[in-house]
Amino acid sequence: MPDTAIEVRPTHVVLVGLMGSGKTTVGKKVAKLVGARFVDADVEIEARTGRSVASWFEDGEPAFRAAEAQLLADLLADPDLLVLGSGGGVVVTEANRTRLQERDVTAVYLHGTPEFLASRVQAKAHRPLLDDDPLAVMTQMYAQRDGWYREVADAVIEVRPHHEAGEKPKWRIAEQVVTELVALGAVDAAAVTRPEAFG
């Protein structure tokens, strides 16, 4: 009989998707479940540069994208594996898409329709691309980025059904992410903690 056991090759885990898909909240829970460090890309870039995302965008989006690409390269060069909640536009930069498809990274696309995500997001300081019409902005972003998210993704998870299923949707999503990671061999099942342990 052939050996059907999954070869475990632990990797960095990067959550990608539009704003409002839950990359930060879900990412923190995934990190807890797999015992890894969590990094929020937007928070990290502010900590490293002393500038808010909104401030970066005042210099134009290309300046921010360059800083974002450098941050991604630095974080994924760390030998200690991490769970990264990426910025929504990380896939805009070709070099980032290439990096996210390397063997030491497992990318998970948290997918939601523009209509659903627009109902969840609000204009915030760290979301400078939103204006008075979130749905229009989200629809435009989705049209541009959905194909890129799918290009880099090792797994795609639909977020809306988990929200419609009842309580603790972010835990539900995180559990599905971890299930996918185990199936892909990116996480050792023996290292996974059940969410009940965190209340």
Q: Measured between alpha carbons, how far is residue 181 from residues 20, 50, 51, 156, 168 in Å? A: 22, 34, 33, 11, 20
Please report the beta strands in the chain, taking only residues with DSSP state E, as ranges in sequence order: 12-16, 37-40, 82-85, 105-111, 155-158
Average pLDDT, the chain: 90
8 A C-beta contact, residue 41 and residue 72: yes
In this model, does residue 18 exceed pLDDT 60?
A: yes
Please report the beta strands in 37-173, taking only residues with DSSP state E, as ranges in sequence order: 37-40, 82-85, 105-111, 155-158
CATH fold, domain 12-181, is: Rossmann fold (3.40.50)
In tens, the pLDDT along 127-163 reads: 555 566 788 889 999 999 999 999 999 999 999 999 9
Nearest to 25 by CA among 52, 9, 43: 43
* pTM to 2 decimal places: 0.91
